[in-house]
Amino acid sequence: MKCHLLKPIVEATSEMKRLVSLPWSTFFGSLFVILTAIGLLGNVVVIIAISGDRKMRKSVMNMLLLNLAVADALNLITTMVEWTPTIIFGFPLWIFPTFLCPLARYLECVFLFTSISTQLVVCVERYIAIVYPIHARRLCSRQNIIGIIIAVWIFVFIIASPNVFYNEKRPGSRTCSNFHQHTNFWTVYKWVEFANFYFLPCIIFIILYGKVCCVLWSKNKQLYEETTSLSDVSARSEALIMRRNVVKMLVACVCVYFICYSPIQGIFLSKGLFHVSLHIPYEIVLTMNALTMMCSACNPLLYTLFSKKFRTKIGSLLVCQKSQKRVVNGRTISPVCAPFHCALDPSLLSQGSWLKRMFHRRQYEMELLLANAHNQQPRRSYTSIGECIV
């Protein structure tokens, strides 16, 4: 899925000469840093929001989003680590220990394939939930989704395994390359990879998401016809907004996936089907790999920000809501922000939430101070934190 196929050519033609000029290296270095920072921030926030709330973990959709965020975050890290020396030195120099060469390529493919496979599972889950809601509870149960997530990781670990054996850093070589890319086995493997992680997902996305959009728009007509009172009008408007957001998200998902992965696959098809010999500038190689990073960086935005509930949850983690100053025993107590969060959503502090255990100590200290000032007993139960206390 990435442009590693060009590196053996680089090995044969480069003698410590920059393949990327210094201005382009600066541009791509800045671009990769921005994509990695935005992607890691978004995915880490999604991981914290879901893993820190037991109610959110009960949702099968959120479990899939958690798995997607983990895969995307790891993909961004491994991609950035591999391409950093290329950007700094201007050619694909391998500065890490030799044994990490095949391992890095393997893990990079594992996390990328897991991200794509998880998006495919999300597509099928949304299709069943919207088109066949009666069967959704049985087919998309928590146990089934956990089993599917485990199966996805096992499948990906197996199908990416040739990268361990075919990528190497040979003695005297300065690059980590695939020296067996012209063998019959590798050619067949790349076709299998193309079919499983680009062609079939594109077809499935278009068909299933197209069907979902048709169902949602047909239900919009029913909403108009069934309106009988003012309360129904309000409920209808809210339902229409939610459904339109779903349609926007689905269209955005297909477009981003197609834009990010089509250029690399286009090169593969031109070589595999039409035997076109392409001498691609290395700036184009970096651009296409930046596109794959952009997909991992955009996923948390696409799958979470279109959801009002998820936006509210993430906003509660990132936004510090100011509370009024209090005067206790002649002392003015000013609210200060806690890490990630101030006015925590009560649902985040439900029983069993580790966020509750993280923040409840400061809440108790504040209540103790207030209780001493008013000769009251502090509360012993912490179901919510209403004010920002640090």
pLDDT, residue 53, reads 79
At 157, is the pLDDT very low, low, confident or very high (cuts 50, 70, 90)? Answer: very high
The mean-pLDDT minimum among 114-123, 269-278, 378-387 falls in 378-387
Separation between Cα atoms, residue 76 and residue 107, nearest integer Å:
11
pLDDT, residue 361, reads 46
Residue 92's nearest CA partner among 166, 9, 172 is 9
Most confident of 115-129, 296-310, 372-386: 115-129
CATH of domain 3-317: 1.20.1070.10
**Per-residue pLDDT averaged across 123-137, rounded?**
88
H-helix or E-strand containing 248?
A: helix 230-272
Separation between Cα atoms, residue 51 and residue 73, nearest integer Å:
15
Q: Please report, for residues 43, 245, 253, 340, the alpha-carbon distance to residue 250 in angstroms, rounded to integers and kept in the order given.
A: 19, 9, 5, 29
pLDDT, residue 110, reads 96
Separation between Cα atoms, residue 82 and residue 108, nearest integer Å:
9
HSE value, Cβ hemisphere, 13 Å, CA-based, for 184: 0
pLDDT, residue 7, reads 46
**Per-residue pLDDT averaged across 143-147, rounded?**
93
Angle between helices 22-51 and 60-89 (to 10 degrees): 160
Q: Quick check: 320 and 385 in contact, CB under 8 A?
A: no
- 70-114 per-position pLDDT tens digit: 999 999 999 988 888 888 888 888 888 888 999 999 999 999 999
- 180-209 per-position pLDDT tens digit: 888 899 989 999 999 999 999 999 999 998
At 281, is the pLDDT very low, low, confident or very high (cuts 50, 70, 90)? Answer: confident
Q: Quick check: 32 and 87 in contact, CB under 8 A?
A: yes
The mean-pLDDT minimum among 21-30, 221-230, 334-343 falls in 334-343
Angle between helices 142-159 and 60-89 (to 10 degrees): 30
**Per-residue pLDDT averaged across 276-287, rounded?**
82
Separation between Cα atoms, residue 259 and residue 251, nearest integer Å:
12
Residues in the chain: 390
Separation between Cα atoms, residue 285 and residue 279, nearest integer Å:
11
At 338, is the pLDDT very low, low, confident or very high (cuts 50, 70, 90)? Answer: very low
Would you call 247 exposed, middle or buried from its count of C-beta atoms within 10 A (0-12, 13-18, 19+)? middle
Q: Quick check: 267 and 285 in contact, CB under 8 A?
A: no
Q: Quick check: 349 and 355 in contact, CB under 8 A?
A: yes
CATH 1.20.1070.10 domain locations along the chain: 3-317
**Per-residue pLDDT averaged across 279-295, rounded?**
88
Q: Is residue 151 predicted with pLDDT exceeding 60?
A: yes
pLDDT, mean over the chain: 76
Q: Is residue 347 predicted with pLDDT exceeding 80?
A: no
pLDDT, residue 235, reads 63
- 213-231 per-position pLDDT tens digit: 888 777 655 555 555 555 5
HSE value, Cβ hemisphere, 13 Å, CA-based, for 390: 14
Separation between Cα atoms, residue 158 and residue 100, nearest integer Å:
19
pLDDT, residue 198, reads 92
Q: How many CB atoms lie within 10 A of CB 242?
A: 14
Q: Is residue 20 predicted with pLDDT exceeding 80?
A: yes
pLDDT, residue 93, reads 85
Q: Is residue 126 predicted with pLDDT exceeding 50?
A: yes
Helix (H, G, I), strand (E, B) or coil at 178: strand
Q: Quick check: 292 and 1 in contact, CB under 8 A?
A: yes
The mean-pLDDT minimum among 83-87, 174-178, 284-288, 362-366 falls in 362-366
